[in-house]
Amino acid sequence: MKIIDLSKPIQYNKSDPWFMRVKIKHKPHKKAKWLIRILGLPFKLFPKDFIGWADDSIQKMGVHATTHIDAPWHYSPTTNGKKSKTIDEIPLDWCYGEGLVIDMKHKADFDPITVADIQGFLSKNKLNIVPEMIVLIKTGRDIYNGTKDFHKIGTGMSAEATEWLIDQGIKVMGIDSWGWDLPLPYMMKKAKETGNPELFWEAHLVGKNKEYCHMEQLVNLDALPYSGFKIAVFPLKIVGASAAPARVVALLG
């Protein structure tokens, strides 16, 4: 079996936008020796070759800062009139299944992905969507992940395309762009220009009425075939959270 990592490394990167920066403190082995000494064990009773243990702490990391999966709670406090699921309430059955890549690399920045785009791709490549698949939207914008303009560029899903996937029985879907919708600064700009509030975050807000989860900031989708693989996307079990980082992997063979 071949395993392909689809997750961004979690590390400090000064080129990330300020709201995405992660801060991790790495503690060297030798500091643990002094902790054990303070707790009461004399140095003479330490194992002969004991150096100490390394330790690390995440001092700052938003749950949306790296490769992650959003829960329905992120989109709205209710889904179809009922309390939305937080990330710890997501059924694990949703998080493992047959994978399918939909290649939208040809889409220009700010040109939304439509139902016709998806159906045309499936027809051309003789592919079918089956309920409970995990669908991955490949835009190629992961090459900009880790740059200061990552969140400002790319395509994104339309509300209609998102709803169409849900109606095919898809509970989990993902994208290699910064977000599921068109870029946030672009959406804000167009909403201000047109005065149309329906333009802002339209794909996310499908989740107010139809339950689903999406992943953002996937990487390495070029390493996958369009079909014939499994996807595992198990989020950290953060109680009450709107999302969680996940180590997303594809399993081939």
Q: How far apart are CA 139 and CA 175, in angstroms?
A: 7
The model carries a pTM of: 0.93
Q: How far apart are CA 112 and CA 156, in angstroms?
A: 5
Q: pLDDT tier at 151 (50, 70, 90 boundaries)?
A: very high
Q: Residue 127: CB partners within 8 Å, gap ≥ 6?
A: 100, 121, 226, 227
Q: pLDDT tier at 68 (50, 70, 90 boundaries)?
A: very high
Q: Which of 21-25, 52-56, 190-194 has the highest average model confidence (pLDDT)?
A: 21-25
The predicted-structure confidence for 132-148, as pLDDT tens digits, reads as follows 999 999 999 999 999 99
Instruction: Tell me which amino acid residue 205 is.
Output: L
pLDDT at 249: 98
pLDDT at 60 over 90: yes
Cα three-residue angle 99-222-253, rounded to 5 degrees: 45
The domain limits of the chain are 23-60, 68-252
Across residues 57-76, what is the average pLDDT? 96
Pick from 81-95, 110-124, 186-200: least confident = 186-200
Q: What is the CATH number of domain 68-252?
A: 3.50.30.50
pLDDT at 48 over 80: no
Q: pLDDT tier at 45 (50, 70, 90 boundaries)?
A: low
- β-partners of residue 206 are none
Q: pLDDT tier at 35 (50, 70, 90 boundaries)?
A: low
Q: Residue 66: CB partners within 8 Å, gap ≥ 6?
A: 7, 8, 10, 20, 22, 217, 245
The predicted-structure confidence for 97-136, as pLDDT tens digits, reads as follows 999 999 999 999 999 999 999 999 999 999 999 999 999 9
